[in-house]
Every structure is written in structure tokens, then in C-alpha cells.
Amino acid sequence: MGIRYNKKVMEHFMNPKNVGTLEDADTVIEEGNPVCGDMLRMYLKIEEGKIKDIKFLSFGCAANIATASVITELAKGRTLEEAKKITMKEVAENLDNLPRIKMHCAALAAKALQKAIEEYRESEEAKEDKE
Amino acid sequence: MKKMVYMDNERSTMVAKEVIDVMISYFDKYYGHPASIHGLGEQAHDAIDESAETIAHSINAKYNEIVFTSGGTEANDLAIRGIAYANKDKGKHIITSKIEHPSIMRITEQLSKQGFEIDYLNVDEKGFINIEQLKQLIRDETILVSIMHANHEIGAIQPIKEIGELLKDQKHKIHFHVDGQASYTRLPIDVQEFNLDALTLSAHKIHGPKGIGAIYSREKTKIDPILLGYVSLSRLRPGTENVPGIVGFGKAAEIAFKNFSEYVTHMKNLRDELLEGIENAIPEILLHGPRGDKRSPSNVNFSFKYIEGEAIMMYLNMNGVYVSTGSACASRKLEPSHVLSAIGIPPEIAHGSILFALSRYNKKEDVDYVLEVLPRVVNQLRNMSPLWHKMQERS
């Protein structure tokens, strides 16, 4: 297969954390494209400016699933401000590193989380404007 | 012991016990240089001739038309560049197909930078080339046609005999090379009947050792060596011969052809059982390549829609099932299989492809085990997939 993953990546791939959907999510986003072979859907439940719950679905390879798993663990409980700062590098470090060719999976996970937070904020602002 | 099922036989195969046994003595007993004119040298030389004879016999060739190489990659290189360089005064046009092995495609890409013109035949949705298109592409400058026999990913068997007849009928000489790595010992090959000038063979695809292959090159074919150096036995391929490897290759061929039809029938039965078993157990899938007699006896390749092949492969791996995938995610180039692209499979479906490649050593229990594990793995990943959820929501 040409690509080797370390133990930590394999653990997250085989037993991913926070897989699934959230019925009462405050925001649901998709990032990536099945044509390119990786795509994430992320669900966020937010309370008092903090990520109370987070779930994901993944169409993608082992690295895609593992990075999504680890970023949801990192994000859970953080404030939106803190969660938005999670970088691709931080995701990779929490997996004891990724093969270079798979770094784009960490980038996709970080981008998905940022997009989810931004969309949540925009929708909140829109609500406030109405009020 | 943990259950293990190996179905990655298009990549490489288990070396037969009998093959290992005959190889050993060529390391520690008959280690002489085959070009030396003493007892040990002659022993090695005779062993090479014997292997060449076995392989030649299996394809209806002569033993002096078999030249050993370091493997299929080198044999393909020697065939394509060797014939191209030796015949370039007659023309610089080469025809091949869009679904050849990288060891052909990298060479034709290189040749096109050196002033050769390359045409790549299209294939239809099952993976077959079109003889009419080939006819139209042939011109006075055409010196070589190179088409693989059975495809290593989707198992499509090309109409090699018809191509051979067409090329024979031309008013000028057009060399015909066939890459037989994925068909040798699984389909009959007759270099006379097929009108071949060159044929590529590889040992490790037929339960022989890695690092040894061969080219059949018809007597009097104009072909230049690619490697230059000390000529031991063959002008075409200098350097000291890999004697144990050659002996192993010959033995592997001998065993395969001794029980050819029995082994092929065995593989075909397993192939059809696996193919039908998967179709009955799992919805939303796509078989790549043809069905029936135009499909290689050892090849089953499906896309499992809405999920990705590397993930499937690695979940199977955890269950002791070893296969391969055409997904971009499992390749270093991050591009999906060029074979699946050529038969019109969109990337998102190509990403979910898994190749189950059988050998004569697979058993019915192996197929049963895959049919037990695979539906579970596919379900597990589909439950995780946003595309699967979307599809469910729609219906």
C-alpha cells in the first residue's frame, strides 16, 4: 500500500472517537470532496460559548478518520475562540505525527472545525440582527 | 493462530515449497559462474538452459528465445525501448493502450520525450481495446504495438490473437509485444498462434521468487540491449545471471503447467463464488471488468460505493485479509487508478475499489471467511460515511 501509519493513528482509525450524528446540533457542515477521496461532515452542539458536543462522519482513508477523531477530542469542552485556533500541526502532533503525504487530512480536519465555528457565529449574528 | 487470507496475488505470490527446495543448492553447491568453463560453471549453465527450455515450451517458443531479466519491469523496458531503438530508422510510431502497467507507461512517456510518437488505445467500459481503432492508428511509421494480455487490476483479457493476425497482415513489419505478467500460467499463451515478437514474464506472480523475470524475443527480432556490460550468456542482457532465481522460475513454471487446467478451474470456481457471494451480500457495489471467460480466472474487483478503499483495505487487514485498492489515498501520487479512470469510473467510485486477487493456494474457506468479514467491514465504514447517510436520507 506504500503508506505506513503509526500506532496512534491506527488506534484512532480502528476505534474513532465521536463518530456519528447529533440530532440537536447547532451547526452541521461539510468540508472536502468525495472526488478527491476525502470528505468530513461535522456536527457541533454549543453552550455558553463552548463546544459541548461534537460528532463527525467521514468518507476517507485511515488518516481522514484518525484526524477527525483526534480533532473532535481536542475541541470538546474548549471555547469557540480556543477551538478555532487548533492547527493542522496540533492535530498531527496529537497523532504522534502523520506521513507527510497525509498532512492534507489534518488540514481538512482543522479547516472543517474552523468552518463549523464560523458558520455557527454567522448564524448567531444573523439571529441577533433579527432581534 | 490468527486467521490469515492472502488475496493480493496480482501484486506478488507465495513461493512454492518445491521452488525453494530446488533453489537452495544453487546458493551453496552449484554457485559457479554460468560462463565459466569448469564443472560448477557448466552446472549453472545447464540449469539456466533447462529453465529456459521449460519456460519456452510453456509458450511454444525455443529455449534460445528466452532471456532472463531482473523482473517484469526490466523485461518490459527491454522489449519497448530495445525494439524502439533498434528499429527507429523504420519509423518512430508506437501504439499501446491506456490501461498498461506503469512499467510500460513510464517508458512510453520517456520515449515520447525522445521523439517517438505514442498512441494510447482507448478501452470500453469493460476494459477491452477496439481492433478498429487499432487498425485506424496503424501507419507506415508504426514499428511496435504493445498490449497487455490480462489486465492486472480488472482482469480484462485482450483479443491478443486477433491483434496478432492484424499485425501479421500489414505490408511492413510491426513488432508485437505482450505483457503477460498477469496471464502467464492462468491463460494459455502461444507465441506462434498469437504472432508475438516479444513477451514479458515474471516469476514472483507465478509462485516463483522475486527479482527474476524473462523476455521472450523471437529469433532475428531487431532489439537493442538496454543494460550494457559484460556479456555472460546473452548479448541482450549482460551481467552475471541470477542462477538460483532462474532455477526457481523454471520450477515454478513447470509446476504451474503440470496441472494447468486443474489450477485454473480451481481459481475460476473460487473467483465466481467470491464474486457472486459479494454481490449477494452487499448492496450498492460495482464490479470492474468483464464477467465470464473474458475475465482472468484469478481476478475479482469491486467498488463499494460511499466508502474509501484504503480504509476498507486496512479494516480487512486488521481481520487478517490482505488485498489491495485502486484508491488514490493508498497511492503515493494521490491519484486514483489509471485503469479505472480509463474504463470511465468516476474518481469517487474508483476510491472505493478493492482487488481480490486469487491464487491456486486459496481455498474455499478463504472465500467463506472474506464473505463473513467483508459485509461487516463495509457496514461499519458506511455507518461512518456522510455519503451513505445522505443516500439513506434520500431514499
Only one residue has cell 509458450, namely B59
Give yes or no for a contact between B212 and B246, defined as CB atoms under 8 angstroms apart.
Answer: yes
For cell 493476425, name the residue: B165
Q: Quick one: what percent of chain B has pLDDT higher than 90?
A: 95
Give the whole-angstrom CA distance, residue B385 versus residue B389: 6
Query: Please, what is the average pLDDT of chain B?
Result: 96
Distance CA A62, CA A105 (A): 9
CB pair distance less than 8 Å for B314 and A2: no
Q: Report whether pLDDT(B219) > 60.
A: yes
B356 beta partners: B300
Q: Is-contact B201 B179, C-beta < 8 A?
A: no
Q: Of B331, B318, B315, which Cα lies nearest the Cα of B380?
A: B315
Cβ contact B348–A3 (<8 Å): no
pLDDT at B99 over 60: yes
pLDDT at position B254 over 90: yes
Q: Is the pTM of this model over 0.90?
A: yes
B323: nearest CA in chain A?
Answer: A1
Q: Give the A window 79-108 contacts with B, CB below 8 Å.
A: 101
Tell me the ipTM for this assembly. Answer: 0.91
pLDDT-derived band at B223, boundaries 50, 70, 90:
very high
The active-site residue, picked from B24, B231, B329, B384, is B329
**Residues sharing a CB contact under 8 Å with residue B289, sequence separation 6 or more, in sequence order:** B126, B127, B151, B153, B154, B155, B156, B295, B299, B301, B343
What does the pLDDT read at residue B260?
98
- Rounded to whole angstroms, how far apart are CA atoms B332 and A101? 7
Contacts of B380 in chain A (CB under 8 A): none
Query: Over the stretch A39-57, which tens digit does the pLDDT of each residue have?
Result: 999 999 999 999 999 999 9
How do residues B179-218 score in pLDDT, each as one tens digit?
Answer: 999 999 999 999 999 999 999 999 999 999 999 999 999 9
Does residue A58 sit at the B interface (CB-CB below 8 Å)? Answer: yes
pLDDT of B315-349, one tens digit each? 999 999 999 998 877 776 668 899 999 999 999 99
Catalytic residues of A: 36, 105
Between chains, do B330 and A36 touch, taking CB under 8 Å as contact? no
Interface touch B332/A38, C-beta < 8 Å = no
Average pLDDT over residues B174-181: 98
Q: What is the DSSP string of B28-53?
A: HTS-S-TT--SHHHHHHHHHHHHHHH
Query: Residues in chain A with pLDDT < 50?
Result: 1
Cα A7 to Cα A1, A4, A94, B295, distances in angstroms: 17, 10, 12, 39
pLDDT of res. A1:
44
- Quick check: B362 and B270 in contact, CB under 8 A? yes
Chain A residues whose beta carbon lies within 8 Å of the beta carbon of residue B348: 34-35, 37
Contact flag A41-B389 (C-beta cutoff 8 Å): yes
Contact (CB, 8 A) for B377 and B319 = yes
Q: Which chain B residue is nearest to residue A41, measuring alpha carbons?
A: B386
Strands A38-47 and B198-202, sheet pairing: unpaired
| Stretch among A36-40, A42-46, B63-67, B357-361 having the lowest mean pLDDT | A36-40
Output b/e per residue, B324-353; b: 16+ Cβ within 10 A. bbbbbbbbeeeebbbbbbbbebebbbbbbb
Q: Does A113 touch chain B (CB under 8 A)?
A: no
Provide, as residue numbers in chain B, all residues whose Cβ is less than 8 Å from the Cβ of A41.
386, 389
Question: Which ranges of B259-308 does DSSP label H, i.e. alpha helix?
Answer: 260-281
Position B171 pLDDT exceeds 90: yes
Which positions in chain A touch B334 (Cβ < 8 Å)? 37, 101
Instruction: With H, G, I as helix, E, B as strand and everything else as coil, classify residue B108.
Output: helix
Amino acid at A44: L
Give yes or no for a contact between B65 and B198, defined as CB atoms under 8 angstroms apart: no
Report the residue of chain B nearest A30, measured CA to CA. B386
Chain B residues lying within 8 Å of A37, measured CB to CB = 308, 327-329, 334, 336, 347-348, 351
Are the beta carbons of A37 and B327 separated by less than 8 Å? Answer: yes
Please judge whether B334 and A37 are an interchain contact, meaning their C-beta atoms are less than 8 angstroms apart: yes
